[in-house]
Amino acid sequence: MKKIFFILFVSAIAFSVSAQTKKTPATKKTAVKKAKGVGDFEMKQYFMVFLKSGPNRTQDSVTVAKIQEGHLAHLTKMYNEGKTDLAGPFMDKGDIRGICVYNVATIEEVKKLTELDPAVISGRLIVEIHPWYAAKGSVLK
Protein backbone atom coordinates (compact mmCIF):
# COMPACT_ATOMS: atom_id res chain seq x y z
CA MET A 1 0.00 0.00 0.00
CA LYS A 2 2.88 2.39 0.79
CA LYS A 3 4.31 1.66 -2.65
CA ILE A 4 1.01 2.65 -4.29
CA PHE A 5 0.86 5.92 -2.36
CA PHE A 6 4.50 6.62 -3.23
CA ILE A 7 3.76 6.05 -6.93
CA LEU A 8 0.71 8.34 -6.71
CA PHE A 9 2.75 11.01 -4.93
CA VAL A 10 5.55 10.90 -7.50
CA SER A 11 3.00 10.96 -10.33
CA ALA A 12 1.27 13.99 -8.82
CA ILE A 13 4.55 15.86 -8.64
CA ALA A 14 5.44 14.93 -12.21
CA PHE A 15 2.03 16.02 -13.51
CA SER A 16 2.06 19.33 -11.63
CA VAL A 17 5.62 20.22 -12.69
CA SER A 18 5.06 19.46 -16.35
CA ALA A 19 1.61 21.10 -16.30
CA GLN A 20 3.30 24.43 -15.54
CA THR A 21 5.07 24.46 -18.90
CA LYS A 22 2.36 22.84 -21.03
CA LYS A 23 0.80 24.88 -23.83
CA THR A 24 -2.86 24.47 -24.72
CA PRO A 25 -3.37 23.67 -28.42
CA ALA A 26 -4.89 26.60 -30.29
CA THR A 27 -7.46 24.33 -31.94
CA LYS A 28 -9.44 23.58 -28.78
CA LYS A 29 -12.89 25.15 -28.80
CA THR A 30 -13.61 25.52 -25.10
CA ALA A 31 -15.42 28.43 -23.56
CA VAL A 32 -13.23 31.50 -22.99
CA LYS A 33 -14.53 34.67 -21.37
CA LYS A 34 -12.94 38.06 -20.74
CA ALA A 35 -12.79 39.08 -17.09
CA LYS A 36 -12.65 42.75 -16.17
CA GLY A 37 -11.13 44.19 -13.06
CA VAL A 38 -7.57 44.41 -11.81
CA GLY A 39 -5.85 43.73 -15.11
CA ASP A 40 -7.76 42.15 -17.94
CA PHE A 41 -7.46 38.40 -18.39
CA GLU A 42 -9.34 35.60 -20.07
CA MET A 43 -11.27 32.98 -18.15
CA LYS A 44 -11.34 29.50 -19.65
CA GLN A 45 -13.63 26.58 -18.91
CA TYR A 46 -12.04 23.39 -17.67
CA PHE A 47 -13.63 20.36 -16.01
CA MET A 48 -12.71 19.49 -12.43
CA VAL A 49 -13.05 15.75 -11.85
CA PHE A 50 -13.14 14.41 -8.31
CA LEU A 51 -12.06 10.76 -8.12
CA LYS A 52 -14.03 9.21 -5.27
CA SER A 53 -13.96 5.82 -3.59
CA GLY A 54 -16.13 3.45 -5.59
CA PRO A 55 -18.39 0.59 -4.50
CA ASN A 56 -15.91 -2.18 -5.38
CA ARG A 57 -12.79 -1.86 -3.20
CA THR A 58 -12.43 -5.49 -2.08
CA GLN A 59 -9.89 -6.67 -4.67
CA ASP A 60 -6.78 -8.54 -3.52
CA SER A 61 -3.46 -6.65 -3.44
CA VAL A 62 -2.21 -8.12 -6.74
CA THR A 63 -5.38 -7.02 -8.54
CA VAL A 64 -5.24 -3.59 -6.87
CA ALA A 65 -1.64 -3.14 -8.07
CA LYS A 66 -2.66 -3.99 -11.66
CA ILE A 67 -5.64 -1.63 -11.52
CA GLN A 68 -3.43 1.13 -10.10
CA GLU A 69 -0.82 0.60 -12.81
CA GLY A 70 -3.54 0.89 -15.46
CA HIS A 71 -5.00 3.96 -13.73
CA LEU A 72 -1.63 5.74 -13.75
CA ALA A 73 -1.04 4.75 -17.38
CA HIS A 74 -4.46 6.19 -18.27
CA LEU A 75 -3.71 9.47 -16.47
CA THR A 76 -0.33 9.70 -18.18
CA LYS A 77 -1.95 9.10 -21.58
CA MET A 78 -4.58 11.78 -20.92
CA TYR A 79 -1.85 14.26 -20.00
CA ASN A 80 0.37 13.39 -22.98
CA GLU A 81 -2.60 13.81 -25.34
CA GLY A 82 -3.37 17.24 -23.87
CA LYS A 83 -6.68 16.11 -22.36
CA THR A 84 -5.67 16.89 -18.76
CA ASP A 85 -3.55 19.67 -17.32
CA LEU A 86 -3.27 18.45 -13.75
CA ALA A 87 -3.92 15.27 -11.78
CA GLY A 88 -3.01 13.97 -8.37
CA PRO A 89 -4.13 12.15 -5.25
CA PHE A 90 -5.31 13.51 -1.93
CA MET A 91 -3.13 12.24 0.87
CA ASP A 92 -5.83 11.95 3.53
CA LYS A 93 -8.05 8.91 3.90
CA GLY A 94 -11.29 10.58 2.80
CA ASP A 95 -13.73 9.43 0.13
CA ILE A 96 -12.33 11.88 -2.40
CA ARG A 97 -9.17 10.09 -3.53
CA GLY A 98 -7.85 12.59 -6.09
CA ILE A 99 -8.56 15.18 -8.77
CA CYS A 100 -8.00 15.69 -12.48
CA VAL A 101 -8.44 18.92 -14.39
CA TYR A 102 -9.61 18.12 -17.92
CA ASN A 103 -8.96 20.58 -20.74
CA VAL A 104 -11.49 19.40 -23.33
CA ALA A 105 -14.48 20.97 -25.09
CA THR A 106 -17.46 19.22 -23.48
CA ILE A 107 -18.58 17.40 -20.37
CA GLU A 108 -19.60 14.49 -22.61
CA GLU A 109 -15.98 14.10 -23.69
CA VAL A 110 -14.88 14.11 -20.05
CA LYS A 111 -17.41 11.38 -19.26
CA LYS A 112 -16.16 9.23 -22.16
CA LEU A 113 -12.52 9.68 -21.16
CA THR A 114 -13.07 8.94 -17.47
CA GLU A 115 -15.00 5.79 -18.38
CA LEU A 116 -11.78 4.45 -19.97
CA ASP A 117 -9.89 4.57 -16.65
CA PRO A 118 -9.26 1.02 -15.33
CA ALA A 119 -9.93 2.20 -11.76
CA VAL A 120 -13.36 3.47 -12.83
CA ILE A 121 -14.06 0.38 -14.94
CA SER A 122 -13.25 -1.88 -11.96
CA GLY A 123 -15.45 0.12 -9.59
CA ARG A 124 -12.56 1.15 -7.31
CA LEU A 125 -13.23 4.77 -8.24
CA ILE A 126 -16.24 6.78 -9.33
CA VAL A 127 -16.09 10.27 -10.79
CA GLU A 128 -17.85 13.53 -10.02
CA ILE A 129 -17.47 16.11 -12.80
CA HIS A 130 -17.87 19.88 -12.46
CA PRO A 131 -17.42 22.60 -15.11
CA TRP A 132 -14.82 25.01 -13.69
CA TYR A 133 -13.43 28.37 -14.81
CA ALA A 134 -9.87 29.57 -14.21
CA ALA A 135 -7.73 32.29 -15.72
CA LYS A 136 -6.40 31.04 -19.05
CA GLY A 137 -2.76 29.99 -18.67
CA SER A 138 -2.89 29.76 -14.87
CA VAL A 139 -0.05 27.86 -13.19
CA LEU A 140 0.51 26.54 -9.70
CA LYS A 141 3.01 28.49 -7.60
Domain of 104, CATH number, reads 3.30.70.1060
Q: Determine the structural domain holding residue 65 and report its residue range.
A: 2-24+45-132
Give me the mean pLDDT over the 100-118 stretch: 98
Q: Is residue 127 part of a domain?
A: yes
Query: Residue 52 — very low, low, confident or very high, per pLDDT cuts 50/70/90?
Result: very high
Res. 66: pLDDT tops 50? yes
Q: Is residue 139 part of a domain?
A: no
Q: Give the residue with greater pLDDT, 140 vs 82.
A: 82
The total of structural domains in the chain comes to 1
Q: Is residue 32 part of a domain?
A: no
Q: Is residue 40 part of a domain?
A: no
Q: Is residue 57 part of a domain?
A: yes
Instruction: Give DSSP secondary structure letters for the chain.
Output: -HHHHHHHHHHHHHHHHHHTTPPPPTT----EEEE-SSS-EEEEEEEEEEEEE-S-----HHHHHHHHHHHHHHHHHHHHTTSEEEEEE-SSSSSEEEEEEE-SS-HHHHHHHHTT-HHHHTTSEEEEEEEEEEETT----
Report if pTM > 0.75.
no
Q: Is residue 39 part of a domain?
A: no
Q: Is residue 7 part of a domain?
A: yes
